[in-house]
Chain A
Amino acid sequence: MKMTPKFIRAQENMKPGKITADGFLGGDDRNIVDIIAADEEEFDYLGLDFVQVEKLLRKLMREGLKGLGESIRYDKWEIRIDEARGFLPCPFQDGIFRKRVATVKNLNNGAEIIYSELSIHLLAAHHFLQGKGAKFRLEPTMIKSVLYE
């Protein structure tokens, strides 16, 4: 798939050591345009909407912040927010985000996802959920289990 310079640069930035030590691609050797296309299809197939998912992820993070580092119980989820100092830039160079990580567990089925402020931005603005094997990849099926079951 042909990649414009913007995507080539973004893919470079996603390699380990550029922005984070482990990078955003995991063990995936597809290029990001293909990863995004495949995930968009899967979202469609599972009936998920990027805008709705973004809203919910943000809301859960907001609620979780009230715990100041402790786990809190909100609706059917247990949420904990960890923060570190400094900022992470988006690989697409369109913003910087606090190093704020949310761990959200669905208390009905025990499913858990981990995401950061940057993950939310990548999902909403670029439909990028990170490569298979990446620590912070938001697998569509996991999103569905945690958020909607």
Chain B
Amino acid sequence: MEIILTPVVVSVISSLLALIIVVVDGVVNNYGEVEIDINNSKRKLKVKGGAPLLQTLSSQGIFVPSACGGRGSCGACKVKVLSDVGPHLPTELPYMSKDEIKENIRLSCQIKLKKDIKIYLPEELFNIRKFKGIVESLKDVTYDIKELRIRLVEPNEVNFKAGQYMQLVVPPYENIKEPTQRAYSISSSPSDKNHIELLIRLVPGGIATTYVHKYIKEGDVVEIVGPFGDFYMRDTNADMIMVAGGSGMAPIKSIIFDMWERGITNRNIWYFFGARSKRDLYYLELFRELEKKWSNFHFIPALSDQLPEDEWTGETGLITNVLDKYLQSVIPNENAKEGYLCGSPGMINACINVFDKHGVKDVYYDKFA
């Protein structure tokens, strides 16, 4: 008798208690409906509470930039919150300046919606969409850079400024269990409204670049979100001094070809393409052809570590040194100049120093680096 009674009693008691836990969980973790008030009631959303602000907004078609897909590792999803959502969490503090903390700027991926909230979003954000597209081609342009060309299906048209970037959605694969997003600059020109072209360099161990280099095939369906970013051509008459190497060429190529297509050819453009050796160079013919047709456009590729078999006759040395040399003695002094940079933080800082030395103060660069 005991042998049956014991497990029965223990199981019944445990099950009853488990039931109570489940019920309490349902009540306590159910935040009900909350209202998001955007830009002082310009737009009001009624949504289901409990999820982070970032995800909730994106499920409603409003895309706050995020380079890490909401994991709290990029600091790009900052939103100004006008109502009280509690003190800053320890996960938000590393990304906030003192001023931002005072103005209650928060990381929208860390704020859980537990009650009605009032926020402020800049106007440009409402232009951002999530696109479904098909991989039209995946070409190797160098040994570690691939050109990914996507034909947009739904919506099938995109409007962006040359120089902006898109966020590619990387679905789960292998032992990566959750989808994530990574930002890549657009290398195609805005005139091609139905396509998005990205240049992606393989980073060893990188979640997104491994996916692109090893798993994507032509014909695959992909999702991208955008456009984002405030790196684009400034509408002045100043000379444009552009420096970018590797996959950093993407926004520069987009800007240059956009200007050519729209007939904005009166400005002088100097594009310095820095690379180590010949195998890092690509699109050389493309730019050299453009140089022949467009007298104000100058293309200067430079190798810093060439191999003997490269038989390179062009400029050599670190790109910052080449830039310095040209600013010193080749580029005419009369005109105002603007700098456009895309590359690693180290290169950008070094170039800013060179620009500063030559009195070029207006320098623009791709900030998500």
Q: Does a CB–CB distance below 8 Å link A and B in the complex?
A: yes
**In the complex, which residue of chain B has the Cβ closest to the Cβ of A71?**
B305
Write out the residue numbers on chain B whose beta carbons fall within 8 Å of the beta carbon of A85. 183, 344, 368-369
14 extra interchain contacts, Cβ-Cβ under 8 A, other than A16-B175, A84-B344, A96-B74?
A: A21-B176, A22-B205, A83-B346, A84-B201, A85-B183, A85-B368, A86-B67, A86-B68, A86-B183, A86-B369, A87-B73, A87-B75, A94-B94, A96-B73
Q: Mark A59-71, 1 if CB is under 8 A from B, else 0.
A: 0000001001110
* Contact of A76 with B by CB under 8 A: no
A66-105 CB mask vs B (1 if < 8 Å, else 0) is 0011100000000001011111110001111011100000
User: Which chain B positions have C-beta within 8 A of A20?
Assistant: 205-207
Partner of A17, one of B74, B75, B175: B175
Of B90, B177, B318, B344, the most chain A CB neighbours within 10 A belong to: B344
Within 1-46 of A, Cβ neighbours of B (below 8 Å) are at: 15-22
A19 to B183, CA, bound (A): 15
Say yes or no: is A55 at the interface (Cβ < 8 Å to chain B): no
Q: Is the CB of B73 within 8 A of A17?
A: no
A interface residue count range (under 10 / 10 to 19 / 20 to 34 / 35 or more): 20 to 34
Q: Write the residues of chain B forming the contact surface with A, with a CB cutoff of 8 angstroms.
A: 67-68, 71-75, 90-91, 94-95, 174-178, 182-183, 201, 203, 205-207, 210, 276, 304-305, 318-320, 344-347, 350, 368-369
Residue of A nearest to B178 (CB): A17
Are B91 and A68 in contact, with the CB atoms below 8 A? no
Contact B176 A16 (CB under 8 A): yes
B74 partner residues in chain A, CB cutoff 8 A: 86-87, 96
Closest 7 CB pairs of A and B: A89-B73, A17-B176, A83-B344, A84-B203, A16-B175, A85-B369, A95-B94
Q: Does A126 contact B (CB under 8 A)?
A: no
Measured in the bound complex, the distance between the Cα atoms of B345 and A57 in whole Å is 19
| Complex CA–CA separation, A92 to B369 (angstroms) | 23
Chain A stretch 94-149: residues in CB contact (< 8 A) with chain B: 94-96, 98-100, 135
Are B206 and A21 in contact (CB-based, < 8 A)? yes
B129 CB to closest chain A CB, in angstroms?
23
Contact (A68, B350) CB under 8 Å given A83-B344, A87-B73, A96-B74: yes
Residues of A within 8 A of B304 (CB): 68-70
**Distance of A69 Cα from B344 Cα, bound (Å):** 9
- Chain B residues with CB below 8 A from A69, complex form: 276, 304, 344, 346-347
Distance in Å: Cβ of A82 to nearest Cβ of chain B:
8
- Which of A17, A21, A83 has the largest count of B CB atoms less than 10 A from its CB? A21
**Across the interface, do B344 and A17 meet the contact criterion of CB distance under 8 Å?**
no
Indicate whether A17 sits within 8 Å of B347 (C-beta atoms), given known contacts A93-B90, A93-B91: no
Contact B95 A96 (CB under 8 A): yes
Contacts of A88 in B (CB 8 A): 73
Residues of B contacting A18 in the complex (Cβ-Cβ under 8 angstroms)? 71
Cβ 8 A contact of A86, one of B94, B176, B182: B182
B210 x A21 contact (CB < 8 A): yes
CB distance from B73 to the nearest CB of A (A): 3
Q: Which chain A residue lies CB-closest to B173? A: A17
Task: Report the minimum CB–CB distance from A96 to chain B (whole Å).
Answer: 6
What residues of chain B lie closer than 8 Å to A93, measured between beta carbons? 72, 90-91
Question: Of all chain B residues, which has the CB nearest A22?
Answer: B205
* Chain B residues positioned under 8 Å from A17 (CB to CB): 174-178, 207
A135 neighbours in B (Cβ, 8 Å): 205
**Which residue of chain B is the closest to A67 with respect to CB atoms?**
B318
CB distance from A112 to the nearest CB of B (A): 16
User: In the complex, A93 Cα to B71 Cα: how many Å?
Assistant: 10
Q: Can you offer 18 A-B residue contacts whose CB atoms are under 8 A?
A: A19-B73, A20-B206, A21-B205, A21-B206, A68-B346, A68-B350, A69-B304, A69-B347, A70-B305, A81-B346, A83-B347, A86-B74, A86-B368, A87-B67, A87-B75, A95-B94, A96-B74, A100-B346
Q: Do the beta carbons of B305 and A96 come within 8 Å of each other?
A: no
User: Whole-angstrom distance between the alpha carbons of A99 and B344 in the complex?
Assistant: 9
Cα A17 to Cα B177 in complex, Å, equals 7
Given A21-B206, A68-B346, A84-B203, decide whether A89 and B72 contact each other with a Cβ distance below 8 A: yes
Q: How far is the CA of A135 from the CA of B205 in the complex (A)?
A: 9
A93 to B369 CA separation, bound complex (whole angstroms):
20
Q: Contact: A94 with B207, CB < 8 Å?
A: no
Q: Shortest distance in angstroms between A11's beta carbon and chain B's nearest beta carbon?
A: 15
Complex-state Cα separation, A89 to B109, whole angstroms: 14
Contact B182 A65 (CB under 8 A): no
- Smallest CB-CB separation from A88: which chain B residue? B73
